[in-house]
Structure 1
Amino acid sequence: MAGKDKLVASIDVGSNSIRMLIAEIGSKGNIKILEELKKSIDIGKDTYNTGKVSLETIKDTVKILKNFSKLLDEYNIKNYRAVTTSGIRESKNKDYVIEQIKSGTGLDVEIINNSQERLLTYKAIREYLPEASQMRKEGVLIIDIGSGGVEVTLYNEGYLCFTEYVKIGSQRLKETLSEIESDTMDFPKVLEDYIESKSYLIKENLLKYNVSNFIGLGGELSSIYKACKKTDEEKSMKKLSKDSLKEFYKEARNLSSEELSEILGINEKQSEMVVPTLAISQKFIEMTKSKDIYVPRASLRHGILADMADEAYDTQRKIDFIEDIRHSIVDIAIKYRVDYQHVEHVKDMALKIFDKTKKIHFLSERDRLLMEIASLLHDIGKYVNVNNYQVYSFHIIKALDIMGISDREMDIIAHVAKFHADEEPQGSKSYEVLSYDNKIRISKMAAIVKLADALDLSHKNKIKSIDVKIKGSTLTITASSNEEIPLEKWYFHKISDFFEEVMGYKPILKQKGF
């Protein structure tokens, strides 16, 4: 895309609406929105009520997307990205829904997980809220209220501290508690109690931090924000006072959907989500010391555009978010009480081997990141049991939610961690069902991590640095150490056959300095 502006599109197949942005990405990665479309849909209502997207809703979805596709053709846009989240992701018939969209419209819709959704949304924040960088340093809690769940993220002192996904989205709350609504005089209080029961661990975690900023996204916050702004001066700001939010919540909890629809200028379906959105916002802002809630014009579809710009131009934003991912991995490793000096050393040596053997493994930079994560997390299973810990590492990693990492990538990381020691992939049931490409990627990354882990088997950081050279069919690793390294030499020789089997090069370990 370098050299001139390009037309692109982002499509968000959401739980209660389908939205599309058509934009122009400039030669420096700047984004200019040209057109925005939105159509209501009942995907989430179907899924959260019955577990499936109904045939009628599938047809409506295809019809909407077919019209969107025609507009893409009119603009002659080939470069687009279409994603869907919990509404389709959690439906039992998701594969059929995606296939009918493909056959009916020609559009490829990608099902993304919570962590991918979170990354895209926060890229949008960086694009549309310049104050975000300063807030990260001061401490900021970000909540993204979706139909199915709430993404909760904390930044403090400039670093990503934790992220959580809680299944208390505005529409899910409405559908889950619908049977109680007619049996109580104070349904908003029921909502608050339910939200608190699902989020108390996050509240306890936040006590360790001094969080002075709060950003709210999604739900009907944009409409609420507009309704609470009374003066032109207020309208020019991107924030709403905590007191204003509280006052509007008091008013809204006693209004009907029809009344809220008229006040906010939204349709009745949207107005049904207002009170749940307010209840969620109120509960989470109370967990902070913030006096205001920032409501930037940022959404998943805006984040998709930002991500497309990042991939095209390797922007600073892309670099910063990779660092966020790395920082979150360190926090996870520490949480599971790994020997951090050891895993950090293994990671450094694995990356050195990776970089020096590019011409024989042909893995990508993304693979390098996945291998780096696996290197840092390979021992977390010891938190459960030091015996057969690799299996526990595998299952813990599979259950983790790492921002920006897809389910497929988490599976690769988990397998690399599982096979970093004695065990080899062949014969493993979870490995055998993988695609050929992923099997090869996992085996190559595991072969590298095996060598790196062997070089610090004693966990004493005896080897200070390594030099890696390829000559003929031999890979020579020269270790700099002023101490005896009998364990490292023995184990390196023991596991080196696997590297040769996978890569076709025989690893040899030499020592320098002793």
Structure 2
Amino acid sequence: MAIRLFAAIDVGSFELELGIYEISPKTGIRKIDHVRHVIALGRDTYKNGKIRYELVDEMCKVIEDFADIMQSYKVTGYRAYATSALREAKNSQIVLDQIRVRTGIEVQIISNSEQRFISYKAIASKDAEFNKIIQKGTAIVDVGFGSMQVSLFDKDALISTQNLMLGVLRIREMMGDMQVNTQMQNTLIEEMVDNELNTFRKVYLRDREIKNLIGIGESILYLSRESHGGKPVEWITAEEFINFYEKIKFMSLDQIQDRFGVNAEYAALLVPAAIIFKRVLELTGAEMFWIPGIRLCDSIAAEYAEEARTVKFHHDFSEDILAASRNMAKRYKCHGPHTVCMEKYVLGIFDSMKKYHGMGKRERLLLQIAAILHACGKFISMRKPSESAYSIIMSTEIIGLSHMEREIIANVVRYNGLEFDYNRVQLNEELFRNTKGELSHEDITILIAKLTAILRLANSMDRSHKQKLSDSRMNVKEGKLVVTTSYEGDMTLEAISFNQKADFFEEIFGIRPVLRQKRRLS
């Protein structure tokens, strides 16, 4: 396969960045050029909720220069992603339209969970180190300008991931109006960080041992290099980093500028970043700190390379999404055996109906997650579990899923227990406009209806929660989905429920489900 030239653009909260990459099956992903421009978009968003025209104008000029660089390299593909500054800006659609009209570059706003997931893919592209380190308790700490993400691994499995509003630019803006000296400001930042992290510890770190920390984000690249006298470094002990912090916290802004070779704006962000990493190290008790040197542009290139099948990753990312979903179901006390059974049934129905439903691998994953989480609402309300489940899913980030995908799952779970109304499917219009992809509102509604029909039918097959049909086989014959079981006991409850759900299934797919009990000859 020929070498591909790919461009990645990061429209971040504090800077615009362009990366040019050479991607091939033989050499993998290799960065050949890198351009950055500091522009504090997040300062406007976090303070005023909108981005000023002057900054939009500056941004368009820089991206226009990026487009010229891309053309000079004759790139064959590009992706431009915007993160929290545009995600949270009230005028984001106007800004995106200005960029498109003035530069020809289409910028997509990605959700926080998508952003962190592709960064995670870039780490995983370093196969040898990544697979070795996550065999023991590991936390990935991704400190950005708008927020930070903490993801926990144990024995190769993603346990949980949480987003905390502790981005370094956001913290700096919160501190901006306080008339205090540097030492007091650092103390206030520590208290702010501790408040969030202590809650995280109580909920997610109980009885969990963290041996290693993986640090990503722009600021850690500067901090790690200077902690070893300006030399690039990938591994630091917790003790070395904490000792380094004790030195940097007493530096003036001018000293930080000189030491790190950055401007005053960037220098003001490095101490808050160091405080965050230092407190996470102390909180988790991690012994080693790995800095793989990942920027968001690297992550965008990794995502593109995987989807184009130019580079093959050995880590199963879909399993991470499922593992996070299962841990979420466990947190809300979902019935384990029933949930396992539901996963089996929905996938069996989906795979049997491949020729008829027109859905693919991604939709299969969304259906599986819906099956895992379908009963989480009972933790809040036994009376209105469907509405409660919708609220839980929409309030919980699931790493690797877009806002729209999470909304699809939430609606499927919601309509598992409510009458389906094509005209009242809830879709957040702002998220719908920002999401990647080109599906219309009607397309999304039909997809939700299809997944709901499968989930309902699968749920009816274990109505008693006794897994009576665990040996069932499914196939389509003569316009019917025939579900056959050898269960010899009474399955009246399942049969009644199955017939009730069959009507909606037939309405959606034009195929009638039939339940058959195959009895043994005596």
Global fold match (TM > 0.5): yes
After superposition, where does 1:298-447 map in structure 2 within 5 Å? 298-313=294-309, 317=313, 320-421=316-417, 423-430=419-426, 435-447=441-453
Query: Measured at CA, do residues 273 and 130 of structure 1 come closer, stay the same or move farther in structure 2, by a change above 3 Å?
Result: farther
Name the CA distance, whole Å, in 1 between partners of 2:86 and 2:335: 40
Counterpart-to-counterpart distance in 1, 2:400 and 2:444: 19
Alpha-carbon separation, structure 2, partners of 1:129 and 1:270: 32
Q: Distance in 1 between matches of 2:303 and 2:457?
A: 35
* 1:126 equivalenced with 2:124 (yes/no): yes
Matched residue type, 1:447: A
Partner AA of 1:194 in structure 2 = M
- Contact kept, 8 Å, 1:425 with 1:443, in 2: the verdict is no
Which ranges in structure 2 are unaligned for 5 or more consecutive residues?
430-439
1:461 counterpart SS class: coil
Q: Which digits, 9 at most, give the CA deviation of each residue in 1:340-363, with x for residues without a partner?
A: 111211111110110111111001
The 8 Å contact of residues 113 and 399 in structure 2, kept in 1 or not, is answered as: yes
Conserved 8 A contact 2:215-2:291: yes
Q: State the 1:369 CA deviation.
A: 0.3
Of the three residues 461, 465, 470, the one matched with 2:476 is 470
Task: Name 1:87's counterpart in structure 2.
Answer: 85
Q: What letter corresponds to residue 299 of structure 1 in structure 2?
A: R
Residue 114 of structure 1 is matched in structure 2 by: 112
Once the 2 structures are TM-superposed, how far is the Cα of residue 291 of structure 1 from its aligned partner?
Answer: 3.1
Letter in 1 for 2:52: S
- 2:81 is paired with a residue whose SS is strand
Matched to 1:208, the amino acid is D
Matched, 1:456 2:467: no
- Identity between Structure 1 and Structure 2 (%): 30
TM-score scaled to structure 2, two decimals? Answer: 0.93
Distance 2:428 2:170 in 1: 37
Q: Is 1:209 the equivalent of 2:208?
A: yes
Q: Give, in whole Å, the separation in 2 of the partners of 1:488 and 1:38.
A: 61
Alpha-carbon distance in structure 1 between the residues aligned to 2:366 and 2:485: 25
Secondary structure (helix, strand or coil) at the match of 1:82 reads: strand
2: CA distance, partners of 1:484 / 1:129: 51
Equivalent position amino acid for 2:424 in 1:
S
CA RMSD of aligned residues (A): 2.0
Structure 1 residue 316: Cα displacement = 5.3
Structure 1 unaligned regions, length at least 5: none
CA distance in 2, matches of 1:513, 1:137: 47
User: Structure 1 residue 331: deviation in Å?
Assistant: 0.6
1:137 matched to 2:143 = no
Distance 1:33 1:290, change over 3 A: same
> Counterparts of 2:390 and 2:290 in 1: how far apart (Å)?
39
Query: Which residue is equivalent to 2:189?
Result: 191
Letter of the aligned partner of 1:224 in structure 2?
L
Which AA in structure 2 matches 1:507? P
Q: 2:257 aligns with which of 228, 250, 261?
A: 261
In structure 2, what residue type is equivalent to 1:456?
Answer: D
Question: Aligned in 2, Cα 1:483/1:293: closer, same or farther, shift over 3 Å?
Answer: same
In 2: Cα distance, 1:440 partner to 1:183 partner: 58
Deviates more, 1:296-305 or 1:25-34: 25-34
Q: 1:38 to 1:314 in 2, by over 3 A?
A: closer
- For residue 102 of structure 2, the aligned residue among 79, 101, 104 is 104
How far, CA to CA, are the matches of 1:497 and 1:432 in structure 2? 29
Q: Given the superposition, is the C-alpha separation of residues 429 and 142 from structure 1 closer, same or farther in structure 2, using an over 3 Å criterion? A: closer
Please give the alpha-carbon distance, in whole angstroms, between the structure 2 residues aligned to 1:72 and 1:474: 54
Question: Is contact 2:127-2:314 (8 Å) kept?
Answer: no
- Residues 291-316 of structure 1: CA distance to partner in whole angstroms, max 9, x if unpaired? 33222211221111111111122865
Q: Distance in 1 between matches of 2:208 and 2:278?
A: 19
What SS class does the counterpart of residue 186 from structure 1 fall into? helix
- Larger displacement relative to structure 2 (127-136 or 410-419): 127-136
Report the Cα offset of residue 445 of structure 1. Answer: 0.9
Alignment of 1:145-184 (within 5 A): 145-182=143-180
| Change in 2 beyond 3 A, CA 1:28/1:376 | farther
Tell me how far 1:426 sits from its aligned partner.
Answer: 3.1
Residue type of the alignment partner of 2:53 = L
1:7–1:23 Cα contact (<8 Å) kept: yes
Q: Is the 8 A contact 2:453 2:504 kept in 1?
A: yes
How big is the shift at 1:181?
4.5
Distance 1:279 1:96 in 2: 36
Tell me which moved more, 492-501 or 478-487: 478-487
Equivalent residue pairs, number: 509
User: Kindly tell me: are residues 424 and 310 of structure 1, through their superposed partners in 2, closer, same or farther at Cα, counting changes over 3 Å?
Assistant: same
Q: Partner amino acid for 1:473?
A: G
Distance 2:391 2:310 in 1: 33
Q: Distance in 2 between matches of 1:441 and 1:452?
A: 17
1:42 counterpart (40, 51, 55): 40
The change in CA–CA distance for 1:33 and 1:184 in structure 2 (over 3 A counts) is closer
Q: C-alpha separation between the residues in 1 aligned to 2:88 and 2:21?
A: 30
Q: Name the CA distance, whole Å, in 1 between partners of 2:9 and 2:314.
A: 21
Q: 1:450 to 1:129 in 2, by over 3 A?
A: closer
Tell which deviates more after alignment, 174-183 or 66-75.
Answer: 174-183
What SS does structure 2 have at the residue aligned with 1:287?
helix
What secondary structure is seen at the aligned counterpart in 2 of 1:220? helix
Give the whole-Å Cα distance in 2 for the aligned partners of 1:314 and 1:327: 26
Q: Distance in 2 between matches of 1:250 and 1:327?
A: 38
Conserved? CA contact 1:219–1:274, under 8 Å: no
